[in-house]
Amino acid sequence: DAGVIQSPRHEVTEMGQEVTLRCKPISGHNSLFWYRQTMMRGLELLIYFNNNVPIDDSGMPEDRFSAKMPNASFSTLKIQPSEPRDSAVYFCASRWTGFTEAFFGQGTRLTVV
């Protein structure tokens, strides 16, 4: 398996633009997580899905953020409109439900100018 695949790896956008981050989890995994990592706040959980259903989105910073998982092999995280404070590395991770390893993608480095 190729592992968790995220795209794009890098994104530079202007304030106010819409940004869409994409994630393909490992085939067969039924839990998917979106995290945001910054030096100041560390690795924050934004939202997670079980069997394609959003279970906990309490970490989503505000209504500008939304996430979807239309099927077991694809998820998106959208920011509209984007702001400079959204600049961070966004990670997607997947795993089997339970005490199993979470596999991470290589992340998307987002810069909003």
Partner 1 sequence: TQLLEQSPQFLSIQEGENLTVYCNSSSVFSSLQWYRQEPGEGPVLLVTVVTGGEVKKLKRLTFQFGDARKDSSLHITAAQPGDTGLYLCAGAVNTDKLIFGTGTRLQVFP
Quote the least distance from Cβ 75 to partner 1, whole Å: 15
Quote the least distance from Cβ 24 to partner 1, whole Å: 14
Nearer to partner 1, 63 or 101 (CB): 101
Nearer to partner 1, 81 or 106 (CB): 106
Q: CB of 6 within 8 A of CB of 89? A: no
Quote the least distance from Cβ 46 to partner 1, whole Å: 11
Nearer to partner 1, 40 or 63 (CB): 40
Q: Name which of 50, 51, 40 is nearest 87 in CA terms.
A: 40
Nearer to partner 1, 57 or 81 (CB): 57
Token couple for 4: 């968790």
Q: Name which of 37, 41, 67, 73 is nearest 55 in CA terms.
A: 67
Helix (H, G, I), strand (E, B) or coil at 106: coil
Which residues form the interface with partner 1 (CB under 8 A)? Answer: 4, 31, 33, 35, 42-45, 48, 50, 55-56, 91, 93, 95, 97-107
Quote the least distance from Cβ 64 to partner 1, whole Å: 21
The CA-based diameter of the chain, rounded to the nearest angstrom, is 40
Q: Which residue has the tokens 């590395």?
A: 89
